[in-house]
Amino acid sequence: MNKVIARILGSAQDGGIPQVGCLCERCQWARMDTAHARFPASLAIVGRSGRLLLIDATPSLPQQLDLVRDLFPSDKRLLPDSVLLSHAHIGHYSGLMFFGKEVASTKATPVYCTFAMKHFLESNKPFSYLIERNEIRIKELEKSKTILFDEDLNITPIEVPHRNEDADTLSFLIRSNRTLFYAPDFDQYTETIDRCVRSSDISVLDGCFWSRQEVSDRSYETIPHPPIVETLERFKGLKNRIVFTHMNHTNPILDRDGRLRSKLEKNGFRLAREGMDIPI
Ligand SMILES: [Zn+2]
Ligand SMILES: [Zn+2]
Ligand SMILES: [Zn+2]
């Protein structure tokens, strides 16, 4: 590779779209026409040395790895060289199960995560088995400490506020020629998140809900996310590119009529899509 590529492998909330058991208009549309289906949020990064780094391991990991197959045409078997985990919600780590002996039986694949996330994996089967059998090897990330992942590619884990029932939550500042801020899942903006967006060339941000009214007040209180309308307002006029990911199936930005989507695009914002490349 002569440049570092980030490729979107998933753009939906943890349940993907269509979501299990849901017969809403958006889920039914995605069921009838799989071109409109979306996987849980995940990002692949391919460094100059051709190493594949995966941010988050989702339950759709088998299909998502097929989305980078073209970058590795001569490989007989394609698995990530390392994985970075953002947090302990099912859409972000459960895909690790495919690394176990029932499936890929990987050999000490490095999995980067925080101390709390490490404790969570070590304390819960089947993930503890992967560690015991050395199919994955946990590498502890220190918050805000930059790690060199590949020639000319470094990543800084930045803590974000989120429902941390079982561990803590990270976003990632990914730097090569350009800076990409990847923050797919958080509760609300902080000064740090705001600063990361303003100082990065491109940000891929939590776009779970269009507005607070999309779900009941009670649901919003228990599962807060920064609504897209508020992010648009906050970063109005900013030249740096903003792409939304982690969309929930309730989000009208995904409506068939495309009305809100074109409004958003007219203002210079984008929606993430599986297969979308972000050169960094
Ligand atoms: Zn999530
Ligand atoms: Zn639905
Ligand atoms: Zn989450």
Q: How far is the CA of 210 from the centre of ligand 3 (A)?
A: 17
Domain that holds residue 247: 5-279
**Helix, coil or strand: residue 181:** strand
Q: How far is the CA of 27 from the centre of ligand 1 (A)?
A: 18
CB 38 within 8 A of CB 28: no
Q: How far is the CA of 38 from the centre of ligand 3 (A)?
A: 17
Q: How far is the CA of 24 from the centre of ligand 2 (A)?
A: 4
Q: Which ligand is nearest to the CA of 12?
A: 1
User: How many helices and strands (H and E) does the chain possess?
Assistant: 9, 14
Taking the whole predicted model, whether its pTM rises above 0.85 is answered as: yes
- With bands split at pLDDT 50, 70 and 90, how would you rate the model's confidence at 1? low
pLDDT in tens, 11-70: 999 999 999 999 999 999 999 999 999 999 999 999 999 999 999 999 999 999 999 999
CATH number of the domain bearing residue 49: 3.60.15.10
Q: Which has more confidence, 117 or 219? A: 117
Instruction: Please give the backbone phi and psi of residue 206, each rounded to the nearest 5 degrees, phi first.
Output: -55, 115
Q: Are strands 241-245 and 202-206 parallel, antiparallel or unpaired?
A: parallel
Q: How far is the CA of 74 from the centre of ligand 1 (A)?
A: 33
Cα three-residue angle 178-232-242, rounded to 5 degrees:
20
CB 56 within 8 A of CB 96: no
Q: How far is the CA of 17 from the centre of ligand 2 (A)?
A: 7
pLDDT in tens, 152-200: 899 999 999 999 999 999 999 999 999 999 999 999 999 999 999 999 9
Q: Which ligand is nearest to the CA of 27?
A: 2
Token duo for residue 209: 């809900």
pLDDT at 275 over 90: yes
**Percent helix / strand / coil, the chain, rounded to 5:** 30, 25, 45
pLDDT in tens, 216-239: 877 778 888 999 999 999 999 999
Domain count, the chain: 1
